[in-house]
Amino acid sequence: MTAWNISGGTVLVGSALQRRAEVLLRQQQICAEGNEADDAHRFDAAGLLVLPGVVDIHGDAQERQLQPRPGVSMPPLLAIRDSEAQLLAAGITTAFLGMTLSWEPGLRSVETWRQMHEALRRSAADRVCDIRVHLRFEIDNLEHVEEAIDAIARGDVHLLAFNDHTPGIRRKLGDSLKAAKYVERSGANLAELEAMADAALARRGDVEAARVRLADAARQAHLPMASHDDASVADRMIGRALGASICEFPMAEAVAQDARAAGEHVVMGAPNVLRGSSHLGWAAAAPLAEQGLVTILASDYVWPSLIQAAFVLEDRGTLSLPQAWHLISTNPARAAGLTDRGRIAPGQRADLVIVDPQLRRPVATFCAGRLAWLSAEGADRLGV
């Protein structure tokens, strides 16, 4: 594998930016200074930022590649390839794809779940980005608990999140405007969806036991777990009791406070930071991050939002760029149990993104020491 000497840039090391520093990449790892290979390729990073590759713990933008228009589906293998290209261009070197396994038909069905796993297997040898599976399990989907447990045991899942959307979906199906979203993504008519939701909710008494079984399977596989959209501290306590130490998209500041008091990671969306508020009217992520209540930003539904959000937080004046960058690199890596990435240090996996600080966009992305994506500007900076 090609060795690289990335020189002249401003490098994020720990919590400090070091100017005109060198980063050496060899055998998929970051090397200590003095270990430069004679045949190393060179990248002139003068005037640029050299930063740890972005770790996205929750992103489901691949659903747009699967269903670019309502009711229009694309082949899953094409969706994975298109997603990887976009991830790399956004500086994301590790991506947990949020794949929902629900009772719904269509985009979030068990059939789509199976097809996506097959596409991931078929594309594994060709991928550069480390793409992982974030199983978003709809807890009322009792028909497919065994399938989820089997996938966890096979190693096809890398993070488990407990979703509880069914009651909300059922309410929204009573509103013709809100119901249209679910009709479009499922391909079912309204009456069919109402019947499916009612059937799922009729077995609500069996949910607790199923959730415990899923959590047990995740613990046996040493998977991190998250509870999703906790509306109250009581909800967070349910997740905590299951072993879900990641609080994902809390709906109220009190929930985030409770999670942080317990030493848990709190995830909110980078699009929330860019927009200045949640698109659902929940808590604003930026001030919570500045208070230390949000420890991780995720792309949610827009991959390029992560790098932009880090700069927005810097602009707000409370967090430095290194502190903001930890929210999209070091912290999500740690929460996911990935101790080999998220920072620039000898022995770490050689995942880097080189960023133009003026345009605030990637110039080059390195994954496991391999030049995985390059802009036109970056091409002019290559040498041997």
Q: Do residue 312 and residue 233 come from a single domain? A: yes
At 284, the pLDDT band (50, 70, 90 cuts) reads confident
**In 3D, which of 130, 197, 141 has the Cα closest to residue 170?**
197
Q: Do residue 178 and residue 273 come from a single domain? A: yes
In this model, does residue 128 exceed pLDDT 70? yes
Rama region for 246: left / alpha / beta (φ>0; ψ in -120 to 50; rest): beta
Q: Do residue 249 and residue 378 come from a single domain? A: no
Q: What is the mean pLDDT of residues 80-103?
A: 98
**pLDDT computed for residue 315 by the predictor:** 97
Residue 10 sits in a domain whose CATH number is 2.30.40.10
Q: Which domain holds residue 321?
A: 53-335
User: Which tokens sit at 334?
Assistant: 């740690």
**pLDDT computed for residue 349 by the predictor:** 98
**In 3D, which of 102, 263, 256, 267 has the Cα closest to residue 185?**
102
**pLDDT computed for residue 268 by the predictor:** 96
Q: What is the mean pLDDT of the chain?
A: 95
Residue 258 sits in a domain whose CATH number is 3.20.20.140
Q: Do residue 222 and residue 353 come from a single domain? A: no
Cα radius of gyration rounded to whole Å, the chain: 21
In this model, does residue 277 exceed pLDDT 80? no
- Dump pLDDT digits (tens) for 10-65: 999 999 999 988 999 999 999 987 566 668 999 999 999 999 999 999 999 999 99
In this model, does residue 278 exceed pLDDT 80? no
In this model, does residue 286 exceed pLDDT 70? yes
Kindly state the percentage of the chain with pLDDT values over 70: 97
User: Which tokens sit at 312?
Assistant: 């927005």
- Dump pLDDT digits (tens) for 143-186: 999 999 999 999 999 999 999 999 999 999 999 999 999 999 99
Q: Do residue 319 and residue 353 come from a single domain? A: no
Q: Do residue 97 and residue 128 come from a single domain? A: yes
Cα–Cα–Cα angle for 250, 342, 57, nearest 5°?
35
Q: Do residue 114 and residue 38 come from a single domain? A: no
Q: Do residue 192 and residue 318 come from a single domain? A: yes
Q: What is the mean pLDDT of residues 95-113?
A: 97
**In 3D, which of 99, 130, 124, 127 has the Cα closest to residue 114?**
99
Q: What is the model's pTM?
A: 0.96
Q: Do residue 366 and residue 246 come from a single domain? A: no
Q: Do residue 144 and residue 8 come from a single domain? A: no
**Residue 245 burial (10 A CB sphere; 0-12, 13-18, 19+):** middle
In this model, does residue 283 exceed pLDDT 70? yes
Q: Do residue 217 and residue 147 come from a single domain? A: yes
Q: Do residue 34 and residue 101 come from a single domain? A: no
Give the chain's domain count: 2
